[in-house]
Structure 1
Amino acid sequence: MRAEAQNTADQISKSLELLAQRLDVETAPYRLEEFNARVEDPNLWDNPDAAQKLMRERQSLVDAIDTYEGIKQELADNLELIELGEMEEDEEVISDAEAALKALAEKAAQKELEALLNGEADSNDTFLEINAGAGGTESCDWASMLARMYVRWAEKKGYKVDLQAESPGDEAGIKSATYKIEGHNAYGWLKSESGVHRLVRISPFDSAAKRHTSFTSVKVYPVVDDNIEIEVNPSDIRIDTYRSSGAGGQHVNTTDSAVRITHHPTGIVVTSSEKSQHQNRDIAMKALKSRLYQMELDKRSALVNEAHENAGDAGWGNQIRSYVLQPYQMVKDLRTNYETSDTKGVLDGDLDGLMGATLALAVSGKSRAEAQGD
């Protein structure tokens, strides 16, 4: 076998090893049998929420088994084709099989990253909060660029995106925006984006065409479902209603439909302004519970906690990632040193490389911490 094809096959084999570990491939069939037995329980749907959770867990296991077995079989088939092509000296068969191996390696690498999303809330939907920082109009414009970037990323994933609240900038862009992003592993993918994002470019708002630096902070926290109990003492919160200044027409601008909830013990403030007052109150309360849950997750994870502590104010010295458009093109994550010159692709939502590198770093750091604990 040619050296390049052998290297590709080795990469796929390594991905399969990790998938097998994450799946616990030896016990997977027995766990699936247990799920199937529980699904056949005639009383299952007496508790719809628990039933839906069970069905999701079962489907997740089925998908993981199918993925592992599918990649394993496809690898064997293509290696067999290459061997056959070499025996018959059929260059076309060999080339086709090698091309299929390359495509399979990309698929296996992607599934390997997805297999790392096994944290407590990784599979949950997520809230994404964007706030313009130091830089005035520049930062408001940068905040709107980041919002577009994440919406594009979510759409490419097939996720549902729902704008919860938005505050427009005085001249351009947005001061803040909150989105709810729904889809499998939405929180798991996006959690690494929490922190300050720095932009360097020639300002379109500067008549002298000078280079400007601006900052925007991003916060990500999981949507809390009914299976996660978060208690909020009514005496710990203040609920205010006000007139929204965002988009939405005359109704939004002339009625006190927007809702702001302040949680006194933590200082957390959440808002919702895109729905009716009743819906906004419900959305804001769910957002508050999600923020409180995120705080609890942070306490359990030193790496995540460190990332949030480092976020600080949206300004110099606190950034997790730099996006440089002038005098050169480069996006660099300061935690992993992962970098790419495809700034246009990143701003159009091609974020999996950046997210994957941070995810892999977090998992390796967690493994080291557990080893040290032992």
Structure 2
Amino acid sequence: MRAETEKAVAEIEQVLSLLRRHLDWDTAELRLAALSAETESPDFWNDPEKARVRMRERDDLDVAVKAVRELEAGIRDNVELIELGEAEGDEGVVKEAEAALLELKQSARRHQIETLLSGEVDANDCYVEIHAGAGGTESQDWASMLLRMYTRWAERRKLKVETIEFHDGEEAGIKSATIQVKGHNAYGWLKTESGVHRLVRISPYDSAARRHTSFSSVWVYPVIDDTIDIEIRDSDLKVDTYRSSGAGGQHVNTTDSAIRITHIPTGIIVACQQERSQHKNRATAMNMLRARLYELEMQKREEAANAQAASKTDIGWGHQIRSYVLQPYQMVKDLRTGVESGQPSLVLDGDLDQFMEAALAQRVGVATDVTADAD
């Protein structure tokens, strides 16, 4: 076995040891079995709120236990293949197994970081809002590229995406859009994406083929459940109705079913046009508002903590976090962590893990050897 492969195996085993300690492995297996048995009970849903809490705990534990088992199986199977290939002189089998172990090392690193996603709402679904900056069609096209990028990232992770609100651009792209990303740790992973994203390219909308710089803003906040109490007074709300726009079939633009709610004390605005029913859109918009107010409180706490730290990192709304350069060279660079990629086409197609991993590791102070894939 080559030294590089031996090192990868050692790193995976180190992560496995960390994951087992973090889970308290023997206890975790017993707890998962107990929760699984409980969810199969005929009267499990008699108390819906308790049932939802138990289901979330079971699902989260199941994901963590499966991750450990998959890493264990991956090491065992591929090490056996390498030994078999070396014994039989089959270099092809050896190379294939070594490549699989290097991929497994990357997966192990992601699982290591996921163990640190222990915030109150890290495991929750989330909303992702995208707004085009100043600059008309160019920025609106950039906003639509970001929408596609996050949608593709979610698809890569087998997360579900639902469109909540969508406003077409004047000539191309979008003025704004809100999607809901559903799945385990959706918010935990995406929370580091909030901020301003900058694009530099030769504009396809400029007849003189000049280079343009565009900005779009991304805001990520968690979906929260009824166990988190957020007080909202009716007197603090301004509610507007309007007709839906964008893709949606024959019923779009036929009724004033879309809802826009402004929270007057904070200036927060949320909108939903997902359903034909105004009542359902209002309910979704209120859930979004509760989530935004919760995120605002979380941000205030984080900023208060950061104000006491020597190495404060700007991560809030309005701060530029990443630059995507398509001309005169090819480079995507995260301005917080320094992580770079020389393949922006892959990044814009949803290959964001290296940026998210580094940003998460930076937040929790964990060393990471995430490297650029620049050529």
Deviates more, 1:194-203 or 1:96-105: 96-105
Deviates more, 1:75-84 or 1:56-65: 75-84
d(CA) in 2 for partners of 1:113 and 1:130? 26
Tell me which residue corresponds to 1:210.
Answer: 210
Tell me which residue corresponds to 2:261.
Answer: 261
Unaligned runs of 5+ in 2: 368-375
Deviation at 1:328, TM superposition (A): 0.4
Aligned residue identity for 1:298: Q
- For the 8 Å contact 2:194–2:316, the answer to whether it is kept is no
Aligned residue identity for 2:161: V
Tell me which residue corresponds to 1:50.
Answer: 50
Normalising by the residue count of structure 1, what TM-score does the alignment of the two structures yield?
A: 0.86
d(CA) in 1 for partners of 2:341 and 2:315? 26
Over the aligned positions, Cα root-mean-square deviation in angstroms equals 2.8
- For the 8 Å contact 1:194–1:307, the answer to whether it is kept is no
SS of aligned partner of 2:279: helix
d(CA) in 2 for partners of 1:348 and 1:91? 36
SS of aligned partner of 1:217: strand
Task: Give matches, 1:1-374, under 5 Å.
Answer: 1-25=1-25, 27-32=27-32, 35=35, 39=39, 43-76=43-76, 78-79=78-79, 90=89, 92=91, 95=95, 97-248=97-248, 251-275=251-275, 276-302=277-303, 310-312=316-318, 318-364=319-365
d(CA) in 2 for partners of 1:77 and 1:137? 52
Unaligned runs of 5+ in 1: 313-317, 367-374
Aligned residues: 360
Tell me which residue corresponds to 2:371.
Answer: none
SS of aligned partner of 2:8: helix
Tell me which residue corresponds to 2:372.
Answer: none
Deviation at 1:360, TM superposition (A): 1.3
Deviation at 1:138, TM superposition (A): 1.1
Can you list the C-alpha shifts for 1:237-292, whole angstroms capped at 9, x where unaligned? 12111233444467543432221111112111111123231221111111101101
Deviation at 1:144, TM superposition (A): 0.9
More helix by share: 1
Can you list the C-alpha shifts for 1:305-353, whole angstroms capped at 9, x where unaligned? 97676432xxxxx310000000001111111111101111111111111
Q: Relative to structure 1, is the Cα distance of residues 137 and 63 closer, same or farther in structure 2, using a 3 angstrom cutoff? A: closer
Aligned residue identity for 2:133: G
- For the 8 Å contact 1:311–1:320, the answer to whether it is kept is no
Identity of aligned residues (%): 57
d(CA) in 2 for partners of 1:46 and 1:70? 35
- For the 8 Å contact 2:221–2:295, the answer to whether it is kept is yes
d(CA) in 2 for partners of 1:81 and 1:174? 50
d(CA) in 2 for partners of 1:196 and 1:95? 42
SS of aligned partner of 2:274: coil
Aligned residue identity for 1:102: L
Can you list the C-alpha shifts for 1:79-111, whole angstroms capped at 9, x where unaligned? 46656776x575557556534433432332332
- For the 8 Å contact 2:203–2:211, the answer to whether it is kept is yes
Deviates more, 1:240-249 or 1:328-337: 240-249
- For the 8 Å contact 1:195–1:311, the answer to whether it is kept is yes
SS of aligned partner of 1:311: coil
d(CA) in 1 for partners of 2:301 and 2:26? 29
Deviates more, 1:124-133 or 1:21-30: 21-30
SS of aligned partner of 1:253: coil
Aligned residue identity for 1:236: D
- For the 8 Å contact 2:315–2:321, the answer to whether it is kept is no
Deviates more, 1:332-341 or 1:75-84: 75-84
Aligned residue identity for 2:296: M
- For the 8 Å contact 2:219–2:317, the answer to whether it is kept is no
Aligned residue identity for 2:24: D
d(CA) in 2 for partners of 1:271 and 1:59? 30
Aligned residue identity for 1:241: T
Deviation at 1:365, TM superposition (A): 7.1
Deviation at 1:182, TM superposition (A): 1.4
Q: Relative to structure 1, is the Cα distance of residues 37 and 145 closer, same or farther in structure 2, using a 3 angstrom cutoff? A: closer
